Structure 1
Amino acid sequence: MPLFGAHMSAAGGVSNAIRDIVEIGGEVLQLFTANQRQWTPKAPSAADVEAFRRRRAAFGGPVFSHASYLINIANGDGAASAKAVEALVREFERCTALGVDAVVLHPGAHLGAGRGAGILRAARNIDEVFDRCGGQTPALLLENTAGQGTCLGGGLNDLAEIIDASRHASQLGVCLDTAHAFGAGYALHTDEGYRRCMEDIEYGPGLAAVRLFHVNDSLVPCGSRKDRHTHIGEGQLGEAAFVRLLNDPVFAMHPMVLETPKEDGHAADRRNLATLRRLAGR
């Protein structure tokens, strides 16, 4: 069976995210390692890093970081590109200190320069990040998008082409978000739509490249090019879409993280985790 968890807040210290994922019964954690709304956020203190590592050892499950939404790794503007690279380098440094397994990153937007130019810029900037970090670094997982505006990643081949263009392809992988895929036009709620998505993965980045799922239902219709998450089974995807994914033997042991609304705190996460486990036949 897949491993189920959630994105948890690091308010009050990153070690609190580990505490909270254990409290709700999660098996995998995603978090922001710093304030994702700032370009130069404060890094976790030495004491918080130590507490995180101690709790993480007891937790035992995989841990992923989500890079800041401010980062546009496909930006070709000199100053903006340098700013994005610097922010991702700092993210890698924090994740290395914490022992995080991988960083999730949106592939960015080409801002009118064209898809091909955006893909090459993203690969170039990613290479610079790995070149600067050197040595042992977390993996970098490129997340698919709903394809809004000039964003890359609506088509899964965008991710494949970024990986292929990078000198560090062996350190790159894919995070597949169900709501984003649905918004981009993959009808995951149907057998044919699910099959098409899996074929695009297989003949694009490759099934082995998928290392993490964001499991989210969608408030908006298939192909809307919009990104609006809701609780599992309560949106346009519906429970049948998740039954199909959660019971696909190809992804039997994959980590799957909720990014669903938290309007009632941890209670919503507990409900969504229970729904996932029920749909997976646990």
Structure 2
Amino acid sequence: MFLGSQRSWKRPPLNSTAAEKFRKACAENGFDPVHILPHGSYLMNCGSPKEDVFEKSQALLVDELTRCSALGLCHFNLHPGASLGSITTEECLEKIAQAINDAHRQTSSVVTVLENMCGQGSTVGGQFSELRAIIDRVQDQSRVGVCLDTCHAFAAGYDLSAKGGVKSMLDEFDQVVGLHYLRAMHLNDSKGKLGCHLDRHEDIGRGQIGLSAFRDIVNEPRLDNIPLILETPGRPGFEYPEQIELLYSLCKD
């Protein structure tokens, strides 16, 4: 779910009538706002060394959080950012936290959720320690969380395909970041091999991670009440309904 165009920095204001219809539809159909996680614009780079891009990203983040509030939502997911090879990782992490703190001062209540990355190029957030470093710099840590993407984690070197791999990843996440910061997961298999640093999503059970890891995820007690969001390509005969049915079939009674 996106809250505006992915191709433009400037978007028309959110229509208040449409926002009210959205809130009403969620209530009538039993969609709890805590289970809805809008995704940030791909233009946004809150860690950019380019001042114009950084400033536009700051403004866009404020706009995104404001839209979440208007829609009655409580979480917002974004890719942390990239250094573009022009600044150090630490400087990039500092800029990301700066943008988040600035947005939090101008908005209220909505939690900014950092998505782990695959480590491609100069992106940050591929290692749990980098996510923790951003969180440590956020002034209101009640308003920051993490979304774990399975493809990104695998591509960054966390071996979910191994026996006990999901448990090991969650154990490490808990030790480095803290499970109380986990707000959601993106479920994707991976076209690329372990540690490839490529963001190439594959349908559930049809990539390098394999079905057993997703069986472990849907049966992991620590993930109870954590929204699990599909971002897979989906192919004829194996689109979202079929993949959701498959995931439910893996759940133990």
TM over 0.5: yes
State the shift of 1:247 in Å.
1.0
Contact in 2 for aligned 1:176/1:210 (Cα 8 Å):
yes
Indicate if the aligned counterparts of 1:217 and 1:234 stay in contact, CA closer than 8 A.
yes
Q: CA deviation at 1:205?
A: 1.4
1:126 to 2:100 alignment: yes
CA shift, 1:232, in A, is 0.7
Q: Is the 8 A contact 1:85 1:129 kept in 2?
A: yes
Residue-pair matches, total: 249
1:36 equivalent to 2:6? Answer: yes
What residue in structure 2 maps to residue 22 of structure 1?
none
Report the counterpart of residue 280 of structure 1 in structure 2.
251
Task: Find out whether 1:161 has 2:133 as its counterpart.
Answer: yes
| 1:45 shift after superposition | 2.0
Q: Which region of structure 1 is more displaced relative to structure 2, 165-174 or 71-80?
A: 71-80
Among candidates 148, 170, 190, match of residue 120 of structure 2: 148
Alignment correspondent of 1:228? 200
Q: How far apart, in 1, do the equivalents of 2:164 and 2:250 lie? A: 20
Aligned to 1:211, the other structure's residue is in SS state: strand
Q: What is the TM-score with the length of structure 1 in the denominator?
A: 0.84
* Amino acid paired to 2:21: A
2:20 matches 1:50? yes
Deviation larger for 138-147 or 110-119: 110-119
TM superposition score normalised by structure 2: 0.93
Of the structure 1 ranges 221-230 and 41-50, higher mean CA displacement relative to structure 2 is found in: 41-50
Instruction: Give secondary structure in 1 for the equivalent of 2:10.
Output: coil
Aligned in 2, Cα 1:262/1:242: closer, same or farther, shift over 3 Å?
closer
**Cα distance in 1, alignment partners of residues 114 and 83 from structure 2:** 15
Tell me how far apart the structure 2 counterparts of residues 273 and 114 of structure 1 sit (CA, whole Å).
Answer: 41
Q: Could you tell me which residue of structure 1 aligns to residue 84 of structure 2?
A: 111
The residue identity in structure 1 corresponding to 2:141 is A
**AA at the equivalent of 1:102:** H
Q: Work out the CA distance in 1 between the residues paired with 2:123 and 2:204.
A: 25
Unaligned runs of 5+ in 2: none
Local SS of the residue matching 2:94? helix
1:77 aligns with 2:50: yes
Partner SS state of residue 65, structure 1: coil
CA contact 2:203–2:234 (8 Å) conserved in 1: no
Separation in 2 of the partners of 1:250 and 1:274?
Answer: 22
Q: In the TM superposition, what is the alpha-carbon distance from 1:246 to its structure 2 partner?
A: 1.4
Secondary structure of 2:38's counterpart equals strand
Q: In angstroms, what is the RMSD of aligned CA positions? A: 1.6
The 3-state SS of whatever aligns with 1:66 is coil
**What is the alpha-carbon distance in structure 1 between the residues aligned to residue 245 and residue 73 of structure 2?**
26
Contact 1:146 1:225 in 2 (8 A): yes
Tell me the CA shift for residue 94 of structure 1.
Answer: 0.9
2:242 corresponds to 1:271 = yes
Equivalent residue letter for 1:50: E
Q: Which structure would you say has the larger RCO, counting Cα contacts within 8 Å and 6 or more residues apart?
A: 1
Match of 2:110 among 132, 138, 149: 138
1:76 deviation in Å?
3.2
Give the aligned partner of residue 174 of structure 2: 202
- The residue type equivalent to 2:161 in the other structure is H
In the other structure, the counterpart of 1:65 is: 38
* Partner AA of 1:157 in structure 2: S
- CA distance in 1 between counterparts of 2:152 and 2:112 reads 18
Which residue is equivalent to 1:98? Answer: 71
How much has 1:192 moved relative to structure 2? 5.0
Contact (CA 8 Å) 2:165, 2:213: kept in 1 or not?
no
Post-superposition, which runs of at least 4 consecutive aligned residues in structure 1 deviate over 6 A? none
Alpha-carbon separation, structure 1, partners of 2:245 and 2:134 = 36
Q: In 2, distance between residues paired with 1:275 and 1:263?
A: 14
Question: Which letter does structure 2 place at the counterpart of 1:279?
Answer: L
